[in-house]
Amino acid sequence: MKSENLSDEAPSVACKIPVIHPGLGLPDPHHNTSRITGTLFGYRKGRVSLSIQENPKCLPSLVVELAMQTTTLQKELSTGMVRIALETEKQPRADNNNSKTEKKTDILEEPLWTMYCKGEKTGYGVKREATEEDLNVMELLRPVSMGAGVLPGNSESEGPDGEMAYMRAYFERVIGSKDSETFYMLSPEGNNGPELSFFFVRV
């Protein structure tokens, strides 16, 4: 798989994804959107992970290990549109009056999601702190704005399957409510629509 390296010369910006509170009554729904960098990466025989960054020069604000093998996701993407839903349940908490009220946790701070790909349950997505390996991958991909390819991995001991495959693209982040956020992959051509979407939902 040939790597594409399309670098941006955009000026450095603050590395913090803005938090938009849906209860503020924003007049324009487009104010609830922003463009971020999403990277899917993983060893060929391992599970694929999703990293979200404001731009390639920032530290990841979210890393989720998905319930899918890297090779399986590559096959799914080759067939066309892929929609991945990550669902978590609302967790009640007891207040001072011993009545239950809903926890006010940012949806992307939830630790565990039930994952569905094309409507079929595949297992669980797990949020994790960025590991040293994750940060090394992000550092290697700093010059890459969008593209796909492989990075050297444990190929000396595991052969070609030890390579780290990656795909990086811009995603449009849409905040529907405190219980719903969606990431739509933006086509480089800008006219074919998203090929990959992630739906984070609290039900």
pLDDT digits (tens, 9 = 90+) for 153-195: 654 545 455 789 999 999 999 999 999 999 999 876 655 655 8
pLDDT digits (tens, 9 = 90+) for 46-93: 999 999 999 999 999 999 999 999 999 999 988 888 999 999 998 776
Measured between its terminal Cα atoms, the distance across the chain in Å is 39
**Spatial separation of the C-alpha atoms in residues 167 and 182, rounded to whole Å:** 18
Q: What pTM value is reported for the model?
A: 0.76
pLDDT digits (tens, 9 = 90+) for 97-129: 555 555 568 899 999 999 999 889 999 999 999
Would you say residue 20 lies in a domain?
no
Q: Are 49 and 31 in contact (CB under 8 A)?
A: no
pLDDT value for 150? 92
Would you say residue 26 lies in a domain?
no
The whole domain housing 159 covers 34-202
Would you say residue 2 lies in a domain?
no
Please name the amino acid found at residue 90.
K
For 196, other C-beta atoms within 10 Å of its C-beta total 20
pLDDT value for 45? 86
Tokens, residue 151? 């990075």
Domain count along the chain: 1
